[in-house]
């Protein structure tokens, strides 16, 4: 089946954070919503069908995940990344963030250091602080337009930390980590006794045929000292169905996770529609998935090329993975114009009329950057570039 990702779809009035939540988040609406990480595309047809079929039965009691649910995920991982996941390693968690929070709760204590690599997905910092743990930063370094891991900072940070929250692939830098990089991370963590909580929610969103390497697969040590979190939510655009998965090969760690998630948080029941959707997505979503990736790649190419030609003051940090890369706006923040982050955001919201996430949401390393969501129709990006070009012309200074 051929999917038409160019076809606009009305999301206003569908209880949708990205569109209906604009006013609440940014103070007004009517802007191009290029922020929160979901896509303006209908989910794969088999997913929509599976939900409709399940909805046709009018009892929505507690669900039970059958073996076919886990089999569909295990087969997907094998096919995608040649990762052999054992059935007993896997269990359900509603969201990846609450899985990260549960792991922090289970494997660290108040006052412990927890490493992150900013600029990085902001709820990591929030959950570390909310649980009374200490944030230990090992910031990524921007070198020749690409964010790189600072292994010296990571080694220094690891000496003070009990756990690392890894974001792989990395949101918002769009970095896909190589096996060598992940092995290096594993060596540092092993040397310092640091447990790895690996958020791999974006692992399927790898562009141009590159390969994701699951952290747990890089060494025996990594397998036995990691909690991996994955989900069909980004891959198939079903975040509203709150269905995710944790993979913990080490039996002792797994028992502790199960105790927290299932035992006292009591959040292991699951969502009956999420269950139907995830199973259908993994088993039958491949066609949609491949076409979606090609469309996102087209969006990346389009924006990169158009900015270089028409708005050279802003450039795209080309993502290797994810559809939510950074726009480098630092030229607007430097020199005589010298916009603050707030002024940059106000310019985007009021003049360009586009809503994006401030880079500083992900840490001070994001100063001068905005995160843009490319999971949308090409026409929205065309409109964005048009408005941006005009808006830049109206700025008081020439570049
Ligand atoms: C790296 C990362 N982890 C987790 C999430 C959210 O996961 P969930 O909604 O399952 O908690 C996101 C959403 O953008 C993300 O980018």
Q: How far apart are CA 352 and CA 332, in angstroms?
A: 14
Percent of the chain with pLDDT over 90: 96
Q: What residue owns the CA closest to ligand 1's atom 7?
A: 96
111 burial level (CB within 10 Å; 0-12, 13-18, 19+): exposed
Structure tokens at 160: 């003070």
Task: Delimit the domains of the chain by residue range.
Answer: 17-44+287-393, 56-284
pLDDT band at 189 (very low <50, low <70, confident <90, very high): very high
Instruction: Give pLDDT tens digits for 69-96.
Output: 999 999 999 999 999 999 999 999 999 9
Q: Which atom of ligand 1 is nearest to the CA of 167?
A: 1
Q: How confident is the model at residue 394 (pLDDT cuts 50, 70, 90)?
A: confident
Q: Average the pLDDT over 6-31 and give the result.
A: 95
pLDDT of residue 364: 97
pLDDT score recorded for residue 169? 98
| Mutation test residue for ligand 1: of 36, 171, 173, the one with most atoms within 8 Å of CB | 171
Banded model confidence at residue 398, pLDDT cuts 50, 70, 90? low
The C-alpha atoms of residue 102 and residue 135 are separated, in whole angstroms, by 17
Q: pLDDT digits over 134-180, tens only?
A: 999 999 999 999 999 999 999 999 999 999 999 999 999 999 999 99
The 8 Å CB, 24+ separation contacts for 11-19 are 11/40, 18/373
Task: Compute CA 173 distance to the chain's CA centroid, rounded to the nearest angstrom.
Answer: 10
CA of 96 to the centre of ligand 1 (A): 6
Gap from CA of 364 to ligand 1 centroid (Å): 20
**How distant, in Å, are the alpha carbons of 161, 186, 253 from that of 224?**
18, 11, 9
Is pLDDT above 70 for 376? yes
**pLDDT band, residue 336 (cuts 50/70/90):** confident
Distance of alpha carbon 270 from alpha carbon 145, whole angstroms: 41
Please count the other Cβ atoms lying within 10 Å of the Cβ belonging to residue 209: 7
- 97 CA from centroid of ligand 1 (Å): 6
Which range has highest mean pLDDT (61-65, 245-249, 333-337)? 245-249
- Tell me which of 121, 124, 198 to substitute to probe ligand 1's pocket, judged by most ligand atoms within 8 Å of the beta carbon: 121
Domain 56-284: give its CATH architecture. Answer: 3-Layer(aba) Sandwich (3.40)
Taking CA atoms only, the protein residue closest to ligand 1 atom 13 is: 37
Q: What is the pLDDT of residues 279-298, one digit of tens each?
A: 999 999 999 999 999 999 99
pLDDT of residue 397: 63
When the candidates are 3.90.1150.10, 2.40.160.60, 3.40.50.300, 3.40.1260.10, the CATH number that belongs to 17-44+287-393 is 3.90.1150.10
Ligand 1 lining (C-beta closer than 6 Å):
37, 95-97, 121, 167, 171, 199, 201, 231, 233, 239, 244
Q: How far does residue 239's CA lie from ligand 1's centre (Å)?
A: 9
pLDDT at 27: 92
pLDDT at 228 exceeding the cut of 70:
yes
94 CA from centroid of ligand 1 (Å): 11
Q: Quick one: which of 113, 104, 189 has its CA closest to 151? A: 189
119-148: burial string, b at 16+ Cβ within 10 Å, e else: bbbbbbbebbeeeebbbbbbbbebeeeebe
- The pLDDT > 70 percentage for the chain reads 99
Closest Cα to residue 35, out of 147, 171, 130?
Answer: 171
Residue 233 CA: nearest ligand 1 atom is 10
Centre of ligand 1 to C-alpha 40, Å, is 17
Task: Please tell me the pTM assigned to this model.
Answer: 0.97
Residue 396 has pLDDT above 80, yes or no: no
- The model's confidence at residue 334, banded by pLDDT at 50, 70 and 90, is confident
In this prediction, residue 263 carries a pLDDT of 92
Backbone φ and ψ for 91, nearest 5 degrees, come out as -155, 170
Whose C-alpha lies nearest to ligand 1, atom 14?
Answer: 37
**What is the Å distance from ligand 1's center to 59 Cα?**
30
Report how far ligand 1's centroid is from the alpha carbon of 264 (Å): 23
In the reported structure, the alpha carbon of residue 201 is separated from the centroid of ligand 1 by a whole-number distance in angstroms of 6
Residue minimizing CA distance to atom 10 of ligand 1? 95
For the CA of 97, the closest atom of ligand 1 is 11
Condensed to tens digits (0 to 9), the pLDDT of residues 42-79 reads 999 999 999 999 999 999 999 999 999 999 999 999 99
């Amino acid at each position: 089946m051929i999917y038409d990702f160019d076809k606009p779809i009305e999301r206003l009035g569908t209880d949708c954070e990205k569109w209906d939540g604009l006013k609440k988040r940014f103070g007004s609406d009517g802007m191009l919503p290029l922020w929160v990480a979901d896509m303006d595309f209908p989910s794969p047809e088999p997913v929509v069908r599976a939900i409709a079929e399940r909805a046709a039965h009018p009892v929505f009691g507690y669900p039970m995940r059958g073996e076919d649910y886990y089999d569909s995920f295990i087969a997907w991982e094998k096919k995608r990344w040649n990762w052999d996941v054992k059935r007993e390693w896997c269990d359900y968690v509603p969201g990846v963030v609450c899985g990260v929070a549960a792991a922090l709760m289970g494997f660290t204590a108040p006052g412990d250091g927890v490493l992150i690599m900013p600029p990085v997905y902001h709820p990591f910092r929030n959950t570390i602080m909310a649980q009374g743990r200490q944030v230990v930063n090992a910031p990524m370094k921007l070198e020749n337009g690409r964010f790189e891991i600072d292994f010296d900072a990571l080694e220094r940070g690891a000496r003070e930390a009990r756990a690392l929250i890894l974001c792989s692939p990395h949101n918002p830098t769009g970095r896909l980590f190589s096996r060598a990089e992940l092995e290096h991370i594993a060596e540092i963590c092993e040397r310092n006794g640091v447990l790895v909580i690996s958020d791999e929610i974006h692992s399927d969103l790898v562009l141009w045929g590159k390969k994701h390497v699951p952290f747990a697969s890089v060494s025996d040590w990594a397998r036995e000292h990691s909690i991996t979190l994955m989900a069909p939510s980004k891959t198939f655009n079903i975040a509203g169905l709150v269905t995710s998965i944790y993979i913990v090969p080490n039996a002792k760690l797994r028992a502790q996770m199960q105790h927290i998630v299932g035992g006292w948080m009591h959040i292991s029941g699951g969502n009956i529609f999420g269950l139907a959707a995830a199973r259908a997505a993994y088993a039958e979503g491949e066609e949609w998935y491949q076409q979606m990736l090609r469309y996102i790649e087209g969006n990346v190419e389009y924006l990169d090329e158009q900015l270089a030609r028409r708005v050279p003051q802003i450039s795209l940090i080309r993502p290797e993975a994810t559809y939510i890369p950074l726009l480098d706006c630092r030229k607007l923040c430097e020199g005589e114009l010298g916009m603050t982050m707030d002024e940059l955001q106000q310019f985007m919201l009021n003049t360009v009329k586009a809503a994006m996430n401030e880079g500083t949401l992900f840490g001070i390393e994001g100063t001068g950057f905005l995160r843009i969501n490319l999971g949308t129709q090409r026409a929205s990006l065309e409109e964005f570039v048009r408005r941006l070009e005009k808006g830049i012309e109206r700025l008081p200074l020439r570049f």
